[in-house]
Amino acid sequence: MELRDRIAVVTGAGSGIGRAIAQRFARAGATVVAADLDLAAAAATARLAPDPERIVPHPVDVREEASVRALMAATIERFGRIDILVNNAGIGTTKDLVETDLDEWENVFAVNVRGVFLCCKYALPDMLARRSGVIVNIGSVAGLIGIPKRAAYCASKGAVVTLTKQIAIAYVREGIRCNCICPGTVDSPWVERLVAREPDPVAARRALEARQPMGRLVQPEEVAAAALYLASDEAAAVTGSVLVIDGGWLAQ
């Protein structure tokens, strides 16, 4: 029970990686506020928990300041504090730069970067007042290398990686840790949607598997295990780090 009695906020907890993190944290003894744009999906995450009391669904649009402020205030009002924040909510794009409309660029940055900024901005004051808190950001391999057809996505995840390091350094003496997980391609509903849009979905999935030297996609639970480690006291000396979970993709 590595997270016994901890209070965690996980954004994007209604699907894929966020759902797996919420489940893993709840099994480790945390109470998880499962925040998502899709409240029904967050509620479904709560119903999947072994002890449904451990996961509390809450609506949020991480792009909206008032919505994020309300999420953090509601968590503190109900549970007294925020021990752990997982910034997982994110969206992707499948375009190179010239084809990317300004609206799409702005929306990717609003979710992937502004969302992380706002969630940290409204969770950190409680953590700083108690001189204790952990932030886990979900970046991507796309934040570390250039990937074709991912202009806005790569740029936004690059920002998440460097913001992680800035937060880590700014608050290191105040008891705050902040780390980033950079997954390769993960077997989530997002990737299912991506593959389903291709003319030959089976071949498209095989190509994604082949891109990672292990020849398979990463499972959401494998990312959740890393998030658990980083959020736990086992990682007490770890801050500003970037943990790549990519089946060997970047080692080539």
Ligand X SMILES: NC(=O)c1ccc[n+]([C@@H]2O[C@H](COP(=O)([O-])OP(=O)(O)OC[C@H]3O[C@@H](n4cnc5c(N)ncnc54)[C@H](O)[C@@H]3O)[C@@H](O)[C@H]2O)c1
Which residues are annotated as catalytic?
153
Total residues contacting ligand X by CB under 6 A comes to 29
Cα(160)–Cα(107) distance, rounded to whole angstroms? 15
CA angle, 217 then 230 then 1, to 5°:
100
* Core vs surface per residue 95-106: b (16+ CB within 10 A) or e: beeeebeeeebe
In angstroms and rounded to an integer, the radius of gyration of the C-alpha atoms of the chain is 17
Cα separation values, 249 from 16, 164, 183, 203, 218, Å: 20, 22, 10, 19, 11
**Minimal distance, residue 59 CB to ligand X, in Å:** 8
226 near ligand X, judged by CB under 6 A: no
Q: Which residue in the set 6, 36, 49, 178 belongs to the binding site for ligand X (CB under 6 A)? A: 36
41 or 85: whose CB is closer to ligand X? 41
**Minimal distance, residue 5 CB to ligand X, in Å:** 26
89 near ligand X, judged by CB under 6 A: yes
14 or 247: whose CB is closer to ligand X? 14
Q: Is 66 left (phi over 0), alpha (psi -120 to 50) or beta?
A: alpha
16 near ligand X, judged by CB under 6 A: yes
Q: Which residue in the set 37, 56, 85, 244 belongs to the binding site for ligand X (CB under 6 A)? A: 37
User: Alpha helices of the chain — where are they, by DSSP H?
Assistant: 16-27, 39-48, 65-79, 102-109, 115-130, 151-170, 189-196, 201-210, 220-231
Residue appearing with tokens 């494998």: 222
11 or 164: whose CB is closer to ligand X? 11
Q: Which residue in the set 28, 46, 91, 151 belongs to the binding site for ligand X (CB under 6 A)? A: 91
Cα(128)–Cα(116) distance, rounded to whole angstroms? 17
**Minimal distance, residue 200 CB to ligand X, in Å:** 19
134 near ligand X, judged by CB under 6 A: no
CA 199 to chain centre: 29
**Minimal distance, residue 123 CB to ligand X, in Å:** 14
63 near ligand X, judged by CB under 6 A: yes
18 near ligand X, judged by CB under 6 A: yes
Cα(65)–Cα(247) distance, rounded to whole angstroms? 36
Q: Which residue in the set 12, 57, 133, 158 belongs to the binding site for ligand X (CB under 6 A)? A: 12
**Minimal distance, residue 38 CB to ligand X, in Å:** 4
Which residues in this chain contact ligand X in the complex, by CB under 6 A?
11-12, 14-18, 36-38, 41, 60-63, 88-91, 111, 138, 140, 183, 185-186, 188-191
